[in-house]
Amino acid sequence: MNAVGIDVSKGKSMVAVVRPFGELVVKPYEVRHTSSELSELASTLKSLKGETRVVLEHTGRYYEPVAQMLHDAGIFVSAVNPLLIKEYGNNSLRKVKTDKADSMKIARYGLDNWCDLRQHTSMDTIRYQLKTANRQYGLYTKNKTAFKNNLIALLDQIYPGVNALFDSPVRADGSQKWVDFAASFWHVDCVRSMSHSGFAERYRKWCKRHGYNFSAAKAFEIHREAKELITMLPKNALSKVMVQEAITQLNTVSKTVEVLRAEMNHLAAQLPEYPVVMALYGVGNSLGPQLMAEIGDVRRFAHKGSLTAFAGVDPGANQSGTYEAKSTRSSKRGSPELRKALFILMTVLLQKAPPDDPVFQFLNKKRSEGKPYHVYMTAGCNKFLRIYYGKVKEFMNTLDIPVDMDSTGLSQ
């Protein structure tokens, strides 16, 4: 019975092997993440007498090559949530934080939880790519928001309120009408320096060139309001460069977001649960792939509570002696990306207010009871995940597809 603790970091890991009653089989030593050294590690572990199980933390992406190499070598590998290792007792008053100490701690955790360790298996290629794309999508979405806010703040000094002139939806290439308008009419003087008829004609040609609908009334409204605006920056070369560079950056990242959104939907469509997930109310081409990317194969969760715990929307418990709290906060210890997608979905449900949707009915009930915002939103996320789990698992069980029991991030 050999418990192998691996403290993973970027490019290298610290490995220690212990047996019951504190027997140290292999002192902590360093292994680089190269094919030769990981192969040598696998050979060493396979040569040990007795059953061997490897425990490591799923820290970012660093653990994946180690887990993959050892799993392919036929060794039992379990990737454990880092929070479980952190809260595991050191049985010491000393506060020691080194790679060697961490590897020993992980090995002892493996011994104490030997029977509960879940074996790690790699996600299939599609799910792995989908999750990676979703993380990139989240990054570029944040950048898009930052670039958009930067452009609006800059235009407020040059052409205040230009971002509110149009409410046209975002195009497939990520472009928006108000951004294209600001690229051509980058300063308010570009509008009010012309006569009404002159601006209307130029605006008509601009709409035709960019494929937008022309409205004479809209042209009159834009020209009239431009005469009342106050600017802080002059119409000169520097102001033009700042606006056009900001627009270029926003358009570039917006296009990237839409490309990733399309690719994620294409990948998600290849997964068996895609039609079931997309049939859920409020789940579209953006939220559907995000949910599938972060949840993965629902059959890897033992029950509905495991999924809600993974998302961090499970209700907590606070009881001691005769005291028992009537209301407790959710754990928020699961996937933040999944919680973000769920909160967006709850916002969509509140905006659309579908009367026959059970999740909205539950949300509306909690809201009508006077519950705080985060309380009824979290409760709605919990309700949605339970429905998601039931419908998707029932459908997946009818298919002859192996279960992906990748345990990364699971509540153990």
Query: In this structure, are strands 52-57 and 76-80 parallel, antiparallel, or unpaired?
Result: parallel
Residue 275: what pLDDT?
94
What mean pLDDT comes out for the span 234-246?
A: 95
Tens of pLDDT, residue by residue over 33-92, are 999 999 999 999 999 888 999 999 877 778 888 888 888 888 999 888 887 888 787 666
Grade residue 244 by pLDDT with cuts at 50, 70 and 90: very high
* Residues 6+ away with beta carbon under 8 Å from 5: 15, 16, 17, 18, 55, 56, 102, 103, 104, 105, 106, 107, 108, 109, 110
Task: Identify the burial level of 404 via C-beta atoms within 10 angstroms of its C-beta, where 0-12 means exposed, 13-18 middle and 19 or more buried.
Answer: middle
SS3 325: coil
CATH code given to domain 2-116? 3.30.420.40
1 compared with 346, residue with greater pLDDT: 346
Residue 403: what pLDDT?
64
Residue 122: what pLDDT?
66
Burial state string for 144-156 with b = 16 or more CB within 10 A and e = fewer than 16:
beebbeebbebbe
User: Which residue in the block uniquely carries the two structure tokens 């000169």?
Assistant: 236
Task: Identify the burial level of 169 via C-beta atoms within 10 angstroms of its C-beta, where 0-12 means exposed, 13-18 middle and 19 or more buried.
Answer: exposed
Q: Where are the beta strands (DSSP E) in 71-201?
A: 76-80
Q: How far apart are CA 137 and CA 276, in angstroms?
A: 23
Q: Is the dihedral of CA 172, 178, 183, 184 positive or negative?
A: positive
Tens of pLDDT, residue by residue over 298-349, are 988 888 988 988 888 877 665 566 655 666 666 667 788 999 999 999 999 9
Tell how far CA 369 is from the center of its chain: 31
Domain boundaries, the chain: 2-116, 129-264, 274-397
Is the pLDDT at 412 greater than 50? The verdict is no
Q: How far apart are CA 270 and CA 370, in angstroms?
A: 42
Grade residue 401 by pLDDT with cuts at 50, 70 and 90: low
Asked whether the beta carbons of 403 and 124 are under 8 A apart, the reply is no
411 compared with 215, residue with greater pLDDT: 215
What pTM did the predictor assign? 0.78
User: Which residue in the block uniquely carries the two structure tokens 């429905």?
Assistant: 387
Residue 409: what pLDDT?
44
Is the pLDDT at 266 greater than 80? The verdict is yes
Asked whether the beta carbons of 158 and 233 are under 8 A apart, the reply is yes
Task: Identify the burial level of 93 via C-beta atoms within 10 angstroms of its C-beta, where 0-12 means exposed, 13-18 middle and 19 or more buried.
Answer: exposed
Average predicted confidence (pLDDT) for the chain: 88
Residue 318: what pLDDT?
58
Tens of pLDDT, residue by residue over 163-194, are 999 988 889 889 999 999 999 999 999 999 99
Residue 410: what pLDDT?
45
Tens of pLDDT, residue by residue over 116-171, are 888 877 666 788 899 999 999 999 999 999 999 999 999 999 999 999 999 888 89
Share of the chain above pLDDT 70, in %: 90
